Structure 1
Amino acid sequence: MHDDLLTFVADDDVWLAPVGGGRAWRFTADQAAVSHPRFSSDGTHIAWTSAREGGPEVFAADLEGAESERLTHWGNAMTGVRGWTEDGNVLAVTAAGHGSRTRLWAYAVPLDGGQAKALPYGRVSEAAVSGPKVATVSAVWREPSQWKRYRGGTAAKIWVDATGDGEFTRLFADNPAQHWSAMWVGERLAFLADTDGDGNLYSCLPDGSDLRQHTTHRGFYARHAASDGSRVVYSVGGELWMLESLAAEPYKLDITLGGPRPARAKRPAPSKVGSFAPDRTGRASVVEIRGTAHWLTHRDGPAGVLRAEPGVRVRLPRPSTTPAGPSGCRTPPARTRWRSAHPAVRFARWPPVSSAGCSTWPPRRTASTPRSPLTTGGSWRWTSTSGMSASWTAPLTATCSS
């Protein structure tokens, strides 16, 4: 936040909105994964993390400018903006140049595109600076809301240098809960923690004393908390909430996203071919299109649907090697198999016994094959890998040229 403006992320873009609520507008239009937008202390710039050009990198833009500028080229999936330093540089973290994604380090990234400077905080996933005071969160590779109520050894922990001498002290060492989103609000340190089983907002003095709980949300974790030094804004269940001060009650912001929302707009599904395989004659292919299987002749004739069922994805269709039919016969091969997302299911086509102008392909019998020959035209039969017969069949007519 800054003055009467609030920045947040929605529909893969950075947005701006009045702090008092109302209609929001897009600050970016990249339609790429973005996170952690932060105002500079003077309110003239916004920095954020964006994957617009591939992996996450640090971007920044003048609030009144026309274009954003990429500030880093780290090429690391853990890169993220965390705020601003006292001298106007972007404060970001990354594991670039290190052997593990948990070896995160904080950097001051200048707006002029110069060399980023490593900060002497050690391995951290967050850092908040206010004058000489520095608060950091231990290096974690996931947001705590993604592993709720975790109490293991890699739980996020808060460390504080209250005097600026470079010596950090861990707060709440006897509390195994997760502590993250540390920020300075006046003379107090505010943060999120799941001590009571859900992520909520707390605050304390720099030495960890006078602990207070400010929110009591249930069901959803409070996330992405940020402060301008006096107010705190955060999200819960996809909604924005605010505290005017640490002595005030939280309330939900009434913000409306303005303009088109392409990420949720209806659009026709493309007929994209996922995989295909021709039969041994080269006259037809079995094709996967958006999770369904089809038999397509290469020159003319109708397309046959082999498998198209909601909730079941078909992939990697392959015709088995079978004896060749008579010249000009466009009947599918004796067996066509493909993989399915349906548990323990495989599919096979059993051939017709006879058809005008075509010789009979001898059926191959397994435990699930019917003992009597199939009728003219054949059928598609599928069975479970456990050998239990399925009852569904779909007729398919053989077509031969004269």
Structure 2
Amino acid sequence: MSGYYRSPTICQNTIVFVCEDDLWTVPVEGGVARRLTSNLGAAGSPRLSPDGEHLAFAGREEGPSEVYIMPALGGEAKRLTYQGSNVSIVGWNTDGKHILYSSGAGLAFDPWIWKLSSEGGEPQRLPYGPANHIDFSDTGGVIIGRLTREPARWKRYRGGTAGQLWIDTDGDGQFQPLAPVDSNFTTPMWIGERIYFISDHEGVGNIYSCLPSGEDVQRHTHQDTYYCRLAQTDGRRIVYHAGADLFVYDLEKDTENQVNVEFRSPRIQRQRKFVNASAYLQEFDPAPDGHALAVTVRGKPFTMANWEGAVLQHGERDGARYRFTQWLNDGKRLVTISDAAGEEAL
């Protein structure tokens, strides 16, 4: 079996990724994936600590996504933030003791970068202005990504809200725009003497790098169908997902390999489930003589008598959506709008 693997993070010989809204771990060389979480809410944006001992992630156990931390090998997760605003884990500080995340807490629009001790406590908003991503050089330089959202959702966009890179090479607070190519940038990573990022200026999103000056642009991955997405690094390798698969780019060897994941899951989310129909009721129509009712629930049409008999489903059971289901005047036939043929029709 295979799954849809996304939002990976890497440290040493371990990759953690998201699938079925839970966190899973697999060795870098591939193999059997092991589930780390089985939470009530969705988990996302995992980030392994620099020593590989801890795992920070965004969890939705109690409403909006908040910052959680757990042992990288699995175990109980601890909630660290209570800001009531969706978060995305960006990474860890260079000291390995603080989690960096983006959040719009207390703000009306774009998120800022926040720093939080892995032990908990009061989060600190960093003074870099609106940003989605941040990374640091070994000498104290800073690079931030503003509006660096997922370009795979808006391919080859070049408008006013395209992702931007800003760099402070000396760490003195003097930022300059970094635009080595005309593109929509995302996930900047400062590794050694180069800045790595995802760009789609050649058509499909791939990983590129340049010097802090913006010169010497180099391409490192060669995806030609699906965008490189949600790249993350441990300083030696970059992990990302393209389509439903995981890939690792080795900086030293200049090689790119797919991670062969052996995914063993009970597929709970694909199993049949029974929901409260009244909570998903979209519309209803009484029969002309009042003996029955036509209802649309979760895009499916049903009819049922007032007091007796079973509830009957009409139309295709799967793969089609229906709306505006109505009785005809004879009380025996129904008319509805369906997209079963590929386009909506009566």
Question: Do Structure 1 and Structure 2 share a fold, with TM-score over 0.5?
Answer: yes
Structure 2 match to 1:115: 122
Whether contact under 8 Å (1:350, 1:381) holds in the other structure is no
Partner SS, residue 250 of structure 1: strand
Matched, 1:92 2:101: yes
Match of 2:204 among 198, 202, 210: 198
- Give the alignment of 1:289-304 within 5 angstroms: 289=297, 291-298=300-307, 300=308, 302-303=309-310
Q: Please list the CA deviations of residues 146-198 of structure 1 after superposition, one character each: whole Å capped at 9, or x if unmatched.
A: 1000011111011111211111121116x331111111222221111111011
Q: Which residue of 2 aligns with 1:387?
A: none
1:236 and 2:189 aligned: no
Query: 1:130–1:62: structure 2 CA closer, same or farther, 3 Å change rule?
Result: farther
CA–CA distance in 2 between the matches of 1:26 and 1:41? Answer: 21
Task: Using the TM superposition, give the Cα deviation of residue 52 of structure 1 relative to its aligned residue in structure 2, in angstroms.
Answer: 2.3
Work out the CA distance in 2 between the residues paired with 1:289 and 1:209.
57
List aligned pairs for 1:112-151, cutoff 5 A: 112-131=119-138, 132-140=140-148, 142-151=149-158
SS of 1:350's partner is coil
The answer to whether the 8 Å contact 1:271/1:289 transfers is: no
Matched, 1:213 2:219: yes
- CA shift in 2, pair 1:10/1:286, >3 Å: closer
- Residues 19 and 381 (structure 1 numbering): CA distance in 2 closer, same or farther, change over 3 Å? closer
CA distance in structure 2 between the aligned counterparts of 1:348 and 1:120, rounded to whole angstroms: 62
> Could you tell me which residue of structure 1 aligns to residue 6 of structure 2?
none
> C-alpha displacement at 1:113, in angstroms?
2.0
Q: Report the Cα distance in structure 2 between the residues aligned to 1:66 and 1:379, rounded to whole angstroms.
A: 58
Structure 2 Cα separation of the partners of residues 383 and 152 of structure 1: 40
The partner residue of 1:27 within 11, 26, 36 is 36
- Pair 267,32 (structure 1): closer, same or farther in 2 beyond 3 Å: same
Separation in 1, partners of 2:133, 2:239:
17
For residue 283 of structure 1, report the CA deviation from its aligned partner. 7.2
Highest Rg: 1 or 2? 1
The TM-score with structure 1 as length reference comes to: 0.73
Distance 1:349 1:33, change over 3 A: same
Counterpart of 1:272 in structure 2 is 277
Residues 108 and 288 from structure 1, CA distance in 2 versus in 1: closer, same or farther, beyond 3 angstroms?
same
- The reply on whether 1:348 has 2:327 as its aligned counterpart is yes
Q: Which has the higher contact order (CA 8 A, sep 6+)?
A: 2
User: Which deviates further from its counterpart, 226-235 or 29-38?
Assistant: 29-38
The aligned counterpart of 1:356 is none
Q: Scaled by the length of structure 2, what TM-score is found?
A: 0.83
What is the percent sequence identity of the aligned residues? Answer: 33
What stretches of structure 1 move > 6 A for 4+ residues in a row?
277-283
- Aligned partner letter, 1:128: D
CA distance 1:190–1:381, shift in 2 (3 Å) = closer
User: What is the deviation of 1:35?
Assistant: 2.1
* Unaligned ranges ≥5, structure 2: 1-9, 338-346
Q: Which deviations, in whole Å up to 9, do the C-alpha atoms of 1:366-388 show, x marking residues without a partner?
A: xxxxxxxxxxxx6426499xxxx
Aligned residues: 319
Contact 2:43 2:59 in 1 (8 A): yes
Counterpart Cα distance in 2 of 1:114 and 1:269: 41
**Residues 1:66 and 2:72 aligned together:** no
Q: Deviations over 1:108-160 (max 9, x none)?
A: 011222001111211111001233021110135x4111100001111101111
Change in CA separation of 1:53 and 1:167 when aligned onto 2, cut-off 3 Å: same
Counterparts of 1:218-367 in structure 2, within 5 Å, are: 218-245=224-251, 247-264=253-270, 266-269=271-274, 272-273=277-278, 274-275=280-281, 285-289=293-297, 291-298=300-307, 300=308, 302-303=309-310, 305=312, 308-310=314-316, 311-314=320-323, 339-340=324-325, 347-351=326-330
- Cα distance per residue 1:293-322 (max 9 Å; x no partner): 313132x4x3575x71123424xxxxxxxx
Q: CA RMSD in A?
A: 2.6
Equivalent-residue separation in structure 1 for 2:287 and 2:74 (angstroms): 58
